[in-house]
């Protein structure tokens, strides 16, 4: 997984470096995913970039890593907690507004794709493709405070709906259900404009 994170960092830095002007930005945003449904609380982080067509509208792109803590419900045997990290890439418009002299508020609408399909074995049963490589859709809202000309402190909240991360059925003698489709997170980090 570290190799994927390194590739993501290098791709974003290379992209930002191609056009070193104030129309580009880069953000490093580590954070926390909250428990929701069968998604459990854990670490999440993203490397974000953007190209701004105007002062108010840009194209946002990101690589996100999620620690991936989940719970599978097996009614006849109990709940089974498992861990499986995954990555997500996304792109979409970003809308920016002013908030005081040094502040910005922003919103993003994103579409992307997840990577990290796995099989889960519990209680002698194996469920294949629990978290397939699937489409995702998301929203993010945040605030940036520029404490230096092109450097800001950033706070962001995000929601992601991962299409197809819900499953139920029979595996061997057990019935199972799993719903990891919705996740909420909060991230805090830094934002640079180039």
Q: Are 27 and 190 in contact (CB under 8 A)?
A: yes
| Domains present along the chain, CATH in parentheses | 2-193 (2.40.160.20)
Quick: pLDDT tens for 86-137. Answer: 889 999 999 999 999 999 999 999 999 988 767 777 666 676 666 667 889 9
Q: pTM here?
A: 0.78
- pLDDT tens sequence across 165-175: 666 666 666 66
First-last CA distance in the chain? 29
């Amino acid at each position: 997984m570290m190799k994927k994170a390194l590739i993501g960092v290098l791709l974003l830095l290379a992209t930002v470096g191609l056009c070193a002007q104030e129309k580009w930005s880069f953000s490093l945003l580590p954070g926390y995913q909250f428990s929701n449904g069968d998604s459990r609380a854990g670490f999440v982080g993203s490397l974000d970039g953007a190209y701004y067509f105007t002062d108010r509208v840009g194209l946002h792109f990101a690589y996100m890593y999620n620690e991936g803590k989940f719970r599978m419900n097996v009614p006849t045997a109990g709940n089974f907690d498992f861990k499986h990290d995954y990555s997500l890439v996304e792109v979409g418009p970003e809308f920016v507004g002013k908030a005081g002299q040094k502040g910005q508020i922003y919103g993003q609408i994103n579409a992307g794709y997840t990577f990290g399909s796995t099989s889960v074995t519990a209680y002698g049963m194996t469920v294949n493709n629990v978290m397939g490589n699937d489409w995702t859709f998301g929203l993010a809202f945040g605030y940036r405070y520029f404490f230096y000309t092109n450097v800001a402190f950033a706070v962001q909240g995000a929601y992601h709906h991962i299409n197809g991360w819900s499953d139920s059925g029979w595996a061997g003698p057990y019935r199972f259900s799993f719903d990891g489709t919705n996740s909420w997170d909060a991230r805090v980090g830094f934002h640079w404009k180039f």
